[in-house]
Chain A
Amino acid sequence: MGVGVLYDATKCIGCRGCQIACKQWNQRKADQTTNTGSLENPPHLTAKTVTKIRFTELEYNGKFQTVFTKLQCMHCEHPACVEACPVSALQKHPEGAVTYDDKRCFGCRYCMVACPFGIPNFDWDTPIPWIRKCTFCFDRQGGGLKPACVTTCPTGALKYGNRDELLVEARARITAAPASYVDHIYGEKEVGGTSWLLLSPVPFDKLGLPKLQEEPVVVNAERAMSMVPPVLVGVAALMTGIYWVSKRRDQNGEKKNQKPQKQGAVKK
């Protein structure tokens, strides 16, 4: 199995160094935003900001707390965007990353619609727009480096490594301090598993992360697509058969009608 990253919300201090490191490495410009009364900025992921820290203030177990969530592409094991993309611009690599190829994309935005996490974003304000999302710093990984956000994280909230080993470690952290975590590794089973994994002191739906099934979202679409060849052959055969039958019906009908007419003509 490939690599992954474990994000531990209990270790995150919300410095947003990962946000900046990501922009530096991927050369993304700043989003123009207005003051929303929160230190969280920008309000959403955009084509310019492909990772960000979300600030959630909530009361949980009778205690007021601020919990941070790092948002970025989860790099699904069975990615809907890869299945959806009609031009193979999105690819799942065996190492774990889901990457995007500028040279193929034509901007249909089906990946945005299909993604269960709502991650891929689009350049709305340029005449030559692209889809943008976290690429797991696939280019850095190829050179033996960790993703930019992981490298820059000062508290160890982000840990890069083999996904299976990360799962073992996440489980161990929960067991060691059951009071600090909810007993749930987000991304372990969601939509068939994701390369990125999250630990949190509060339930994940309170952080605005979608509650997802364990079945990959692509299952029904895959089944439907596998039906295409038999349906094509079946409909073609059925239509040819119906044509053959209806033609014979008409020809038999014509013969019956024609015979008396011919006799009539001979008599004249």
Chain B
Amino acid sequence: MNELQVPQKRKFPIGLAILTAIVVLGLIPIVIRYLYGLGAISNLSDGRPWGLWISFDLYCGVALAAGGFTLAGTVYVFRLEKFHSVARPAVLTAFLGYTLVILALLVDLGQPWFIWHIFVTPNIHSPLFEVGICVVSYTVVLALEFSPAVFERLNNANIPIVNRIKWGIPLGIVRAIQIPLVILGVCLSTLHQSSLGSMLLMSPTNLHPLWYTPILPILFLNSAIAVGPAMVMFESTLTGKALGHKVSHEVMEGLGKVIPIILSIYLVLKIAGMGLNHSLGMVFTAYPYNLYWWAEIIIGIIIPIVLFTNKNFRKSDGRLFLGAAIVVLGLILNRFNVSMFALAMRPGYTYFPSWMEFAISAGLVADSMLVIWLAYRLLPMTQNAPAHAVAPGSMAR
């Protein structure tokens, strides 16, 4: 943050211009959608009612936001202070990930203006009800978890009107409830990550047996916990590059060490789940789906385990970043497999996303990147927080 140098500041606006252009391009289809319906902008059909937005924005977006609860839990519940510097960016990324989910749903839902019906006439047995409630409540929790960064900044701001408000009061309140908030966040994330798997449990005949297993919710939670640290490594290295600060090697290596352990558990569970479903033999026979399966297993699980358990590999930040990127790619592949490639379409239909579907998703990602850029410019993001500033234990003393 302090190392932001003048030439880098000048260079960046080109990137900003590109991001802004993508955002604007993403807005055009949204307007068309509200005038002429979903059919006008998407290739979705009765045969493929959920497409790119659900696979990418919802399934991948939520999983890639897992850095928020894994890091917040690590730092505030397990109290591993080493990772404090990346906790705040992780929580912000998670918050933006969830905002992205909500914005995508506003496009994807047929009648988003009735979204409040989920509170009025709920069906508590629906996995999607659980997803909806978790999205809303966890977004609020994430906003609160991140809010100290905003209040700290406002507290120290020299802006005339802003100055008159005592920002220390909300700051104190949020800090006082920080631990319960983080624990609530972990609980909601556990439910939410797994509920995306529960949603697919409803499709035993439509989801290919290579992926369908009664323990899908556990697999979803487990893979999210694995990708959480990877996403933090990936994202904080990128923002570090773009904004000229550096993530400490200790943090990167620490996160890299954990990943193969979680992925190994994931691999065992995944195979056990297929055993439950008696579909293990299909990995050799169910062409072409077994190719997707192998790609997901090799890229998302086996390569990262081999790389991250190698001590030499963990010595270089560049390689750690590469390894993290592979984990993220593997997770994206998995979520696309279960929610698109291996989910049967009705006979007689085909689907490939239209350019406008891509444009909307890209626009939303660009939105998030702009907010991350602004946050690093304006807010105390990476401070190695002095104990009195962020550490919640300090409130008790």
Contacts and interface: CB of A to CB of B under 8 A. Distances in A.
Given A124-B46, A224-B197, 5 more contacts: A84-B126, A86-B126, A106-B112, A220-B201, A224-B201
Interface string A199-236: 00000000010101100011011111101100110011
B11 interface: no
A250 B123 contact: no
B123 A86 contact: yes
A30 B219 CA distance: 45
Given A87-B117, A125-B40, A250-B79, A236 B49 contact: no
Contact of B393 (A83, A217, A240, A247): A247
B187 A208 contact: no
A221 B129 CA distance: 12
A246 B191 contact: no
Interface of B: 33-40, 44-47, 49-50, 73, 76-79, 108-112, 114-115, 117-118, 120-132, 179, 183-184, 186-187, 190-191, 194-195, 197-199, 201-206, 214, 216-217, 343, 346-349, 393
Contacts of B186: 235, 239
27 contacts: A86-B118, A86-B122, A86-B123, A86-B128, A88-B123, A105-B114, A108-B108, A108-B109, A109-B49, A110-B126, A112-B46, A116-B205, A124-B44, A125-B40, A127-B33, A208-B347, A217-B204, A220-B214, A224-B201, A224-B214, A225-B126, A225-B127, A225-B198, A228-B130, A232-B187, A235-B190, A243-B77
Contacts of A125: 36-37, 39-40
A106 B109 contact: yes
A6 interface: no
A110 B128 contact: yes
Most chain A CB within a 10 A radius of its CB, from B108, B120, B179, B217: B217
A104 interface: yes
Nearest to B123: A88
**Which size bracket describes the interface of A in this complex?**
35 or more
Nearest to B339: A113
A85 B78 contact: no
A44 B348 contact: yes
Given A124-B39, A220-B201, A44 B121 contact: no
Contacts of A218: 202
Nearest to B132: A86
B93 to A, nearest CB: 21
Contact of B46 (A45, A208, A236, A243): A45
A110 B204 contact: no
Nearest to A82: B123
Given A129-B110, A225-B130, A112 B118 contact: no
A46 B46 CA distance: 7
Contacts of B111: 105-107, 128-129
B348 A239 contact: no
Contacts of B184: 236
A126 interface: yes
A130 interface: yes
B208 to A, nearest CB: 14
Nearest to B79: A246
A116 B203 CA distance: 7
A223 B214 contact: yes
B129 A236 contact: no
A113 B348 contact: no
Q: Which 8 residue pairs of A and B lie closest in terms of their CB atoms, listed nearest first?
A: A107-B110, A124-B39, A86-B129, A112-B49, A106-B114, A109-B49, A221-B201, A224-B198
Contacts of B115: 106
A113 B49 contact: yes
A13 interface: no
